[in-house]
Amino acid sequence: MAPPKAVERPSSRLGPSINDGAEALAKGSRVWVLAMPEGSKSRAGGNGTASVAAAAAAAANSTWVPGELRALNVEAGEEVGNASASTGQVALDDGRLLTVELHRIVPANPKLQEGIPDLTHLSYLNEPGITYNLEARYQGDEIYTFAGPVLIALNPCKPLPLYTPEMATKYRAGARDVVASALLPPHIYLVAANAFRRMLREKCNQSLIVNGESGAGKTETTKKAMQYFATLAGGTGVEGQVLETNPILEAFGNAKTLRNHNSSRFGKLIQMHFNASHHICGARIKTYLLEKSRVVHQLKGERSFHIFYQMLRGLKDPARRAALHLPPPNRDAPCAFKCLAQSACWELEGVDDAADFSIVCDALADVGVTPQMQDALMRLLSGVLWLSNLEFVHDEADRNGETYVLAQGPALDACCDLLGVQPEDLSASLTRKRIVTPSETIVKILNLEECLDCRDALAKALYAAAFEWIVEAINRKLDNAPASRQNAASSSGLSISILDIYGFEAFNTNSFEQLCINYANERLQQQFTRHHVRGEQQEYESEGIDWTKVEFVDNQECVDVIEQAPPKGLGVLAVLDAQCRFPKSTDMTFVETLKEALATHPHFSTNVRAPREFTVLHYAGLVPYDCTGFLDKNKDTLNPDLIELMASANGEGSMVPMLGQSIKDDCDANTRRGGQSVGSRFSQQLKELIIELDATGLHFVRCIKPNDKLEPGDFEGPMILHQLRCCGVLEVARIARAGFPTRYGHQAFAERYSILLPPEEQAALLAAAEGVKSGKQVLQGDALEACRKLVDKFGLEPSQYQVGRTKIFFRPGVLGFVEDKWAAMQSGTLLIQASWRMCQQRRRYAAVRGATVALQSAWRARAVWLAFLQMRRELAAARVLQAAWRGHAARCRFLATCQAARTVQEAWRHLQLRRQLLARVAERKERELAAKLEQESFTSLRKKFGCEMDEVQSALAFWRSQGGSSTSQPSSARTPTQPSTPFTPDAAAAAAPPPTATGPHTPASTHVSPRAHTAPQTTTQAPPMPHIKTTSPEAAANGGVSAAANSAAATAAAAATAQRFAVLQEAKETAERLGLENIRLNKQLQLERSLKERYQHKYEEQNAMWSEQLHTLQEYILQVRSTFGDTRLPPLPSALLRVPAPPVGHPASHHHQSLNPLQERPAFTEAKAASFKREAEAKATQARKPSSIASPGSATSTGVKSPTSQPASRSGSTHRSRPVGGGSPASTDERQQQQQQQ
């Protein structure tokens, strides 16, 4: 869309503004010529709106071209029709020769002044000269230019290295020194530095007003100024949080328009507060008129607020997207929602919405918005998007078809889930409206258009409430920052405000929002004009300053058209508020009322062809407004049922109840105020803003848009010149060059610069300035006279200053000269004072140093003496400790020696005990072996005679009764005269002893006492019997007692059995005895051989182990003796001293040799080892050796021990046999023992 056409006033814009420097025209000088389109008039006549529009069209289509003036006052040429006598002939650079009116020719500046940083320094301050100078700087990437006190900022439309930390450090000097700031090139940092310096010097709040068209770069300029303040006065941490607000406010308050990709759709005033040390200690943000209608409606080619697109593309978590009911994060994600799809513009070139979303989330966390609140905020935004997809259908229950309900579907389910409401409640609130009267409550059924408006109103209200909540959260964080709380007590009360508000807008269709935006720009333009033009001229006139008056156009009439109220008249807002109060008013009645109220106003007009439009002549041009929706937008009413619905929502993790309660409170407060409309509330905010700004020092920044397409390097001169005219920069530049921009009050000037005078004059001037009486004499003069003397002291020319009634005024640059002299005088004074203070301090330092050296010397001496005393005490203590330690060590050694002696004694006792134990074990084994042999003999006897166990017992009893103990005699000793008594079972039974209480088969009866046959029996010859061990002593005693009683029975039995026994004995005696003895001897030899091998092996192992332990103890005792001496140990047992060392090759010998290789051991040869081994084997054999075995012909061959062999056996051993009838376990035990040995 093309920019708005400029409107030129012939009396001011085309008159003196163009002819600046015309009197300096001369032949051959470089000039600029205004080339008009062919057929157009060079002058605009009349005073009506049509003539103004015609003049504006002519000026917009004309261009300035360079050339050389050839002649003046020539007759009219071919190209100029009815020209006057004041004409000139100009040769253009392209070779053409033109004759034009003189007022279309302006002088050009010399080449030397191309691209100068301040427009007021141009020789000829005219429109083409200003435009050409700006273009020269713009092509060199110098986008900032001063026009007196105003900074002109051209949007470069590309990134430039002008905002680096090095650049900020460079401009920090300008914040403290006015001389240094005058040497720096134009920059937004320099404007911010001047504001900071004036705040410190004048102790007054300052404001930066950033203004311009949409797309001129106001938002970026504001951010750069905030970054500079953070660098200049940071250090508290608050500056980082202030900077973090930029991405948040841009995401929720900026959108793409037809002219700008990042247009601010709200106004904001950022106040940064400083503490006593001139650091940022807090901040606060005020917002004005959010364009919330953009949530539900955008023009073709525009976008809604950035946050919607950032959320749809930047939220990657599938679970969160599912919880928010969002489509996949692809390019066409915005198409799923009608409120975003209607503009057919979803992406911006060079903008990454996903990356911006991550930055916004981080910024929200930095300003105190928790992750839970961020999720709730995203749910609200998603709910607003789904609201636009809700559709209304006819209620099936209504036959007339006049009632609508919400259509069932995914949109309704998602919307209700995200907002935390029930579908029935939402449908009822959007399709019905309750009207409460004093007498009754009326329920109105809404038609389809009203239902859609109610739905859109709910979406706008929710988004606006969320935006206000975010701003309040930011303010709470900035106000409650730690630096702000810590510096609250030391706060200086000074602040710098930065105003970033929407620029002038004119689209094909302009609505209520554009009217409010342009109204705000009119008020700011009025303030700018009053501050720099009208205020300057009024001050010059009141002070009596002689200067050339500059004509300007005041836009008060345009402001009155919009905001004028009774009784002065009716403006657009007043008529709109009046129409909103009438129940039956419509947009057409509003336009008709405007025509009646403003028909004669020069800045208001209507078009017959467009009955719903009215036109307002703004300072930037004509803007037509479409009145459709003006009444509803001004009322901004929300259905009470919807307010109650939001306040009662109960969704988990939803912020709708909180926002609903906030909206309800605002509505109640507005009702108490009388129902203030949006227009009246915005007008009140603007008035308060202007009053707040007027109370501060103002610094203006005019942002200029270089071209409509925002292409880098494209400089459209007519468009830029139009913006310069609209914002009044040309008039400000002329006033700054022709006027006196710097001024001081008389008293303030005298107080600041009186230091340059001698002391007596300085005191007199100060006394005169204050009107002080000194005794009886009154000092003559006043502050005005003091200022004149000071000016003379500086040596200024009369043209460089003027003295007014209360102030003194200076030309541009003069104050810098005065400040230089003042700074030189001050620096010289400070140097002298510093030198004097240095001299005094050096003297004090020398005296203090001498005293300090003396004190240090004394202190060091005292410290050395104390250290010596401490050392002496430590030495005495060391002696005591050493004596105690030596006593402790000796006691420990004595205790160790005693312990070693006890250990040796315990080892010796253990050895003796072990030997006794082994001896007893060997004796027990011998007894067991004898018992086993006895059992084997008993078994052999039973087999030999072929009788049962009871018979054997009876035979034995008989044998004993017949003097069986004499069986030790050999059979050859018997004589024939001694016949053998035959043995029969009856005789054996008769000879057997009577049974006892234990029975014949008890264990007591089966044992034979070994003592029973020890006495020799020689009376009777008996057949030879094998040697059988007697049983228990009880049985032997019973046998001795009953011997006499049983002798008769035995004699009778012997007679009966003598013959049988004699025959049997004679027949089998020789063969069986030989076989039995052979078998017994073989078994006994085999058993003795296995037992001998086993005992020999065990003996060798035990002997080696004992020898190793004994020699280890011996080595240890020898080491102890060599260390402590023989006097400190008890005497070593003689037996232990005689223990030889283990033989060489024995395992114990290695351990014995490894104990103390340095000590000499006693000799232990192999011969001694062999002798020791033989002695051990002999002792073992003797210990295990059984009763002597005789030859078969001897007495022992019969199995009965000889008396001579009795002492060889151990008399104390007992022999046990198995019970009678118990089988023969000897063979079984033998086999088991042999298996174990194998």
Catalytic residue positions, numbered? 214-215, 219, 260, 263-264, 503, 505
Token look-up 């402790």 returns 888
The amino acid occupying position 1023 is P
Distance CA 100, CA 70 (A): 12
CA 1218 to chain centre: 92
b/e for 619-656, b at 16 or more Cβ within 10 A?
A: bbbbbbbbbeebbebbbbebbebbbebbbebebeebbb
Rg (CA), the chain: 66
Number of H helices, E strands in the chain: 39, 26
Distance CA 111, CA 124 (A): 12
The per-residue DSSP string of 1096-1165 comes to HHHHHHHHHHHHHHHHHHHHHHHHHHHHH-GGGSPPPPHHHHTPPPPPTTSHHHHHHHHH-TTSPPPP--
Sign of CA dihedral 951, 954, 960, 961: negative
**Please, are residues 1107 and 1146 in contact by the beta-carbon 8 Å criterion?**
yes
CA 298 to chain centre: 40
Closest by Cα among 1030, 1034, 993 to 1009: 1030
**For residue 1174, which phi and psi values (nearest 5 degrees)?**
-65, -40
Angle at the Cα of 1117 from the Cα atoms of 1116 and 1123, rounded to 5 degrees: 90
| Element of type H or E holding 597 | helix 587-598
Sign of CA dihedral 522, 523, 527, 528: negative
The amino acid occupying position 429 is S
Cβ neighbours of residue 567 under 8 Å, at least 6 residues apart? none
**Please, are residues 1208 and 1188 in contact by the beta-carbon 8 Å criterion?**
yes
Q: Which two tokens stand for residue 243?
A: 């900077």
Distance CA 678, CA 638 (A): 13
Distance CA 1238, CA 1229 (A): 14
Q: Where are the alpha helices (H) located in 754-795, listed in sequence order?
A: 759-770, 783-794
CA distances from 1082 to 933, 1076, 1085, 1189, 1227 (A): 12, 10, 5, 12, 14
Q: Which two tokens stand for residue 1078?
A: 């052979």
Closest by Cα among 551, 561, 550 to 523: 561
**For residue 199, which phi and psi values (nearest 5 degrees)?**
-65, -40
**Please, are residues 619 and 503 in contact by the beta-carbon 8 Å criterion?**
no
The per-residue DSSP string of 311-362 comes to HHHH---HHHHHHHTPPPSSTTGGGGSHHHHTTS----TT--HHHHHHHHHH
Distance CA 939, CA 1079 (A): 12
CA 1081 to chain centre: 98
CA 67 to chain centre: 67
**Please, are residues 837 and 849 in contact by the beta-carbon 8 Å criterion?**
no
Distance CA 87, CA 118 (A): 32
Total count of residues recorded for the chain: 1238
